[in-house]
């Protein structure tokens, strides 16, 4: 084995168990790759000392035969997860150098199971965005090079303003880029409207947003509480299943987490899908959907049919209302969740002549433009006189969207297959500058899943004409993540893996 970063998570785990490799050398290989890839800006904080200490401890455990399910596996952690003693900023200036005294439930479960932390990953500020361009640490560059760019042009852009290089999606852009560029074996991510699935689709990686309540939200910086869910991004279906098992579980500290046994998701990988009913929702055939995405979708249908699944046409009639309703509910909750960043107790404080002035100056300086926009939208839709017209109606739509899915599942459908995104990755600085709604449309296929609280998995199924990854999305029944892993494995087997060009950024 020449390059340990080329292993999948499952392969690395097996190699560690058989003592073919050590956790320390595996971690060192990743730390070296991270150093080489700093131009991608995937990590906002590297924690090599911590990583090596954790790896050494894993080696001891492996030697004693006390290995946990993720023993010695180096992971990247989205900067939205509170990590004890390690700076956590949600990639916002308002948190400054905030260093929590506590560890999020999900990451503490990963460490419990033996994983190694490599560092904190970039994301859109407070997870608001679909391109990772709103981060206070600057954009992340996708390891997928723009089609037909020369090495010189790539080098110049990397050193310069990065315009035209591709976005890794968002908000979990650091996670998807790090996984695609082999800077970790897997990464934690979060998904409020598509922030796991869209970046996975843009980078040829596998991401799953589990059912709302499957993972604890405790210790994860909140964006929109009723929509936020933690989940993994990894390079294979199996790897994401292994990670989710450690991340999921009930937590008494999160009232919305569900007390339900966590299945062995990996066991579902490779399970037959014969006889499963897969729904194809006609409403996702949106106007202007590109021919190549449509073709990819059809290919996916054929692969599943070949594997013995039954394909049925289904209708989710309220789909078209999902995006506008989402952009009321999510900002409304965000406007309230972000009120705590007031300069009084932690993070940034810009002095003012009185308390109101201090609030205004602190929040004006601390929040970026996208976050400010959403706070304003959210404040507006909750205001007296507008609440019923916006928030209440959006909640009604949410109920209707949930019912759409319930009706389909009630009719015996096991999972739904859709495209993950309406297009492949776009260039940095190319979208949303003049019209933020243009950027919001990236989430058109993913937000319904958050609105309904269902599990959704995105995985690569092919390449665009320009050679960029294209993803499909599987939507499951509540808490039936296992079905998604089984079906996704069929697609992965048929479609193969998609790797970016050699490390052109190094």
Partner 1 sequence: MNATVDPKKLIKGATGDWEVVIGMEIHAQVTSKSKLFSGASTDFGGDQNSHVSLVDAAMPGMLPVINEECVRQAVRTGLGLEAEIHLRSVFDRKNYFYPDLPQGYQISQYKYPIVGEGKVIVDLVDGSQITVGIERLHLEQDAGKSLHDQHPTMSYVDLNRSGVALMEIVSKPDLRSADEARAYVTKLRTIMRYLGTCDGNMDEGSLRADVNVSVRRPGDPLGTRCEIKNVNSIRFIGQAVETEARRQIAIIEDGGTIDQETRLFDPAKGETRSMRSKEEAHDYRYFPDPDLLPLEFDQAFVDELKSHLPELPDAKKARFMADYGLPAYDAGVLVAERVQADYYESVAKGRDGKTAANWVINELFGRLNKEGKDVTTSPVSADQLGAIVDLISNGTISGKMAKDLFEIVFTEGGDPLQIVEQRGMKQVTDTGAIEASVDAVLAANPDKAEQAKTKPGMLGWFVGQVMKETGGKANPQTVSDLLKAKIGLE
Determine which residue in the list 100, 143, 204, 368 makes contact with partner 1, applying CB under 8 A.
100
Name which position in 345, 353, 388, 434 contacts partner 1 (CB under 8 A).
Answer: 345
Nearby residues of 176 by Cβ (< 8 Å), 6 or more positions away: 142, 168, 169, 187, 189, 199, 200, 202, 203, 205, 207, 233
Contact between 284 and partner 1 (CB under 8 A)? Answer: no
Exactly one of 38, 264, 387, 399 binds partner 1 (CB under 8 A); which one?
387
Of 261 and 384, which CB lies nearer to partner 1 in the complex structure?
384
Which residue in 408, 10, 415 sits closest to 211, CA to CA? 415
**Residue selected from 2, 18, 101, 502 as contacting partner 1 according to rule CB under 8 A:** 101
Residue 102 interacts with partner 1 (CB under 8 A)?
Answer: yes
Applying CB under 8 A, the span of 32-40, 218-226, 285-293, 306-314 interacting with partner 1 comes to 218-226
| CB of 44 vs partner 1, minimal distance in Å | 16
CA distance 128 to 314: 31
339: Cβ contacts below 8 Å, ≥ 6 apart: none
Smallest separation (angstroms) from partner 1 to the CB of 218: 5
Rounded to whole angstroms, the Cα distance separating 245 from 238 reads: 11
**Tokens 């509910």 sit on residue:** 329
Residue closer to partner 1 by CB (options 126, 297) is: 126
- Looking at residue 388, the DSSP 8-state letter turns out to be I
* 12 is an interface residue for partner 1 by CB under 8 A: no
Does the protein bind partner 1 through residue 364 (CB under 8 A)? no
Q: CB-wise, 217 or 245, nearer to partner 1?
A: 217
Per-residue b or e along 390-414, where b marks 16 or more CB atoms closer than 10 Å to that residue's CB: bbebbbebbebbbebbeebbeeebb
Which residue of 8, 93, 225, 407 would you call a contact of partner 1, by CB under 8 A? 225
Least distance to partner 1 from the beta carbon of 49, Å?
24
Q: Which residues contact 92 (CB under 8 A, 6 or more apart)?
A: 125, 126, 136, 341, 366, 367, 368, 371
Residue 206 CB partners (closer than 8 Å, separation 6+): 200, 233, 234, 235, 236, 237, 239, 240, 457, 458, 459, 460, 488, 492
* Angle formed by the axes of helices 291-306 and 481-495, nearest 10°: 110
Shortest approach of partner 1 to residue 106 CB, angstroms?
10
Residue 100 beta carbon to partner 1: minimum distance, rounded to whole angstroms: 7
Phi-psi region of 83 (alpha: psi -120 to 50; beta: other; left: phi over 0): beta
Between CA 202 and CA 380 the distance in angstroms is 33
Kindly state whether residue 353 participates in binding partner 1, applying the rule CB under 8 A: no
Measured from the CB atom, the residue of 36 and 226 that comes closer to partner 1 is 226
Contact 8, 185 (CB under 8 A): yes
Active site residues: 78, 171, 195
Site for partner 1 in 233-262 (CB under 8 A): 252-256
* β 415-419/116-121 pair status: unpaired
Tell whether residue 383 is a contact of partner 1 (CB under 8 A). yes
- Quote the tokens at residue 489: 């494995």
Considering the complex, what minimum distance in angstroms separates the CB of residue 398 from partner 1?
12
Shortest distance, position 251 Cβ to partner 1, whole Å: 9
160 Cβ contact partners less than 8 Å away, ≥ 6 residues apart: none
* Binder of partner 1 out of 124, 125, 342, 370 (CB under 8 A): 342
Assess 384 for contact with partner 1 (CB under 8 A).
yes
Instruction: Kindly state whether residue 189 participates in binding partner 1, applying the rule CB under 8 A.
Output: no
Judged by the rule CB under 8 A, the positions of this chain that interact with partner 1 are 82, 88, 90, 95, 98, 100-102, 104, 217-222, 224-226, 252-256, 332-333, 335-336, 338-340, 342, 344-346, 355-356, 359, 379, 382-384, 387, 391
């Amino acid at each position: 084995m020449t390059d340990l970063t080329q292993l999948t998570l499952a392969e690395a785990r097996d190699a560690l168990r058989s003592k073919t490799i050590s956790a320390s050398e595996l971690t060192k290989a990743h730390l070296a790759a991270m150093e080489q890839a700093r131009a991608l800006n995937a990590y906002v904080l590297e924690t090599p000392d911590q990583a090596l200490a954790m790896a050494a401890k894993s080696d001891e455990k492996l030697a004693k035969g006390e290995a946990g399910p993720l023993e010695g596996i180096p992971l990247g952690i989205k900067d939205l997860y509170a990590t004890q003693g390690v700076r956590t900023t949600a990639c916002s200036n308002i948190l400054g150098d905030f260093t929590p005294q506590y560890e999020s439930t999900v990451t503490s479960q990963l460490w419990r199971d033996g994983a190694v932390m490599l560092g904190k990953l970039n994301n859109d500020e407070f997870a608001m965005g679909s391109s990772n361009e709103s981060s206070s640490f600057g954009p992340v560059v996708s390891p997928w090079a723009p089609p037909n760019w020369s090495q010189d042009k790539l080098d110049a852009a990397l050193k310069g303003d990065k315009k035209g290089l591709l976005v890794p999606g968002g908000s979990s852009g650091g996670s998807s880029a790090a996984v695609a560029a082999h800077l970790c074996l897997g990464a934690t991510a979060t998904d409020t409207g598509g922030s796991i699935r869209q970046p996975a689709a843009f980078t040829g990686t596998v991401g799953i947003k589990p059912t709302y309540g499957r993972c604890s939200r405790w210790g994860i910086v909140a964006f929109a509480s009723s929509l936020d869910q933690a989940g993994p991004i990894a390079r294979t279906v199996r790897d994401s299943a292994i990670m989710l098992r450690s991340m999921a579980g009930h937590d008494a500290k999160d009232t919305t987490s569900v007390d339900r046994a966590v299945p062995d998701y990996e066991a579902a990988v490779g399970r037959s899908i014969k006889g499963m009913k897969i729904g194809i929702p006609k409403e996702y055939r949106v106007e202007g959907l590109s021919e190549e995405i449509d073709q990819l979708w059809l290919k996916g249908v054929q692969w599943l049919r070949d594997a013995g699944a039954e394909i049925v046409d289904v209708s989710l009639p309220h789909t078209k209302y999902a995006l506008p309703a989402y952009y009321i509910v999510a900002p409304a909750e965000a406007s309230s969740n972000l009120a705590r960043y007031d300069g009084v107790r932690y993070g940034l404080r810009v002095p003012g002549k009185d308390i109101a002035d201090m609030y205004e100056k602190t929040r004006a300086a601390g929040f970026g433009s996208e976050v400010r926009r959403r706070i304003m939208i959210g404040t507006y839709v909750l205001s007296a006189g507008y609440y019923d017209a916006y928030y209440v109606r959006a909640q009604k739509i949410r109920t209707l969207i949930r019912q759409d899915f319930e009706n389909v599942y009630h009719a015996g459908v096991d999972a739904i297959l859709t495209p993950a995104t309406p297009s492949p990755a776009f260039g940095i600085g190319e979208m949303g500058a003049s019209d933020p709604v243009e950027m919001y449309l990236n989430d058109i296929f993913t937000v319904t899943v958050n609105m309904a609280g269902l599990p959704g998995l995105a995985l690569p199924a092919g390449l665009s004409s320009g050679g960029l990854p294209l993803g499909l999305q599987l939507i499951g029944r509540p808490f039936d993540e296992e079905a998604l892993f089984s079906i996704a494995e069929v697609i992965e087997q048929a479609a193969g893996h998609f790797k970016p060009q050699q490390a052109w950024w190094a």
